[in-house]
Amino acid sequence: MTETIKLMKAHTSVRRFKEQEIPQADLEEILTAGQMASSWKNFQSYSVIRVRSQEKKDALYELVPQEAIRQSAAFLLFVGDLNRAEKGASLHTDTFQPQGVEGLLITSVDAALAGQNTLLAAESLGYGGVIIGLVRYKSEEVAALFNLPDYTYPVFGIAIGVPDQQHDVKPRLPLSQVVFEEEYQEQPVETVLDYDKVQADYAGARATTSWSQRLAEQFGQAEPRSTRKNLEQKKLL
């Protein structure tokens, strides 16, 4: 087992932080490491907004009331970004057509890979963090708060800081139910029921809903309006 694999297997999201800064040099190192993630055609179709002022964190917390945001030493907003692409493309063509699913996949995947690299780099230095996807549920307001231009949108944020809590590693689905040999193998509903039990055992008294109930809450209703509306406003849909 390598140190890297050990670190990856020890990951837990951290949502409570000590009132302690992250030195500028550490943050630069973390972000530079994050930036080395692969990206579609090396387009690097994302940007990161580094938020360190308490005022801005508090303003974001008002929109997205996640305690990790206001406690974080730094909040990193990962933005799907085809604004640079528009400028580059305009050197060669009068037509720019970023609208559609492919543009969203390119930007979201690029942002996600850079984000995961960033979180892992932070963890390797002893910091902790949590990805905050709920920023998308207030996409229009978040876009306004951070002055996001056309062809950009918030994908997620990462709250990072010095951990003030420790959890056991959250058990994942059995590998055999996620990794298939040679072709897809649809899983029976029993596998979900089994994982409900695993999750209930892990969460213990903290559990309020089961894993499958959370799936129902997420996918049993139409998507929140703000994500799509903002993408339309930013000319990505």
Ligand X SMILES: Cc1cc2nc3c(=O)[nH]c(=O)nc-3n(C[C@H](O)[C@H](O)[C@H](O)COP(=O)(O)O)c2cc1C
Decide whether 8 or 144 has the Cβ nearer to ligand X: 8
User: Which of the residues 162 through 201 are near ligand X (CB under 6 A)?
Assistant: 170
Stretch that binds ligand X, among 96-104, 126-134, 141-149, 191-199 (CB under 6 A): 126-134
Cα dihedral sign for 103, 105, 109, 111?
positive
Decide whether 88 or 174 has the Cβ nearer to ligand X: 174
Amino acid letter, residue 104 = L
User: Which of the residues 42 through 71 are near ligand X (CB under 6 A)?
Assistant: 66
Residue among 69, 82, 132, 236 that touches ligand X (CB under 6 A): 132
- C-alpha distance from residue 116 to each of 30, 57, 105, 231 (Å): 11, 21, 16, 23
β 152-161/46-51 pair status? unpaired
Total site size for ligand X, rule CB under 6 A? 12
**Closest to 49 in 3D by CA, of 161, 162, 120, 147:** 147
Q: Strand ranges (DSSP E) for the chain?
A: 46-51, 74-81, 128-132, 152-161
Closest residue to ligand X in the complex (CB): 133
Residue 134 binds to ligand X (criterion: CB under 6 A): yes
**Helix residue ranges per DSSP H, 52-188:** 54-63, 67-71, 83-90, 101-124, 139-145
Decide whether 15 or 57 has the Cβ nearer to ligand X: 15
Decide whether 79 or 132 has the Cβ nearer to ligand X: 132
User: Which of the residues 2 through 21 are near ligand X (CB under 6 A)?
Assistant: 11-13, 15
CB 158 within 8 A of CB 131: yes
Decide whether 11 or 56 has the Cβ nearer to ligand X: 11
Q: Give the separation between CA 207 and CA 194, rounded to whole angstroms.
A: 16
Residue 131 binds to ligand X (criterion: CB under 6 A): yes
Which residues of this protein are in contact with ligand X, per CB under 6 A? 11-13, 15, 66, 130-134, 156, 170
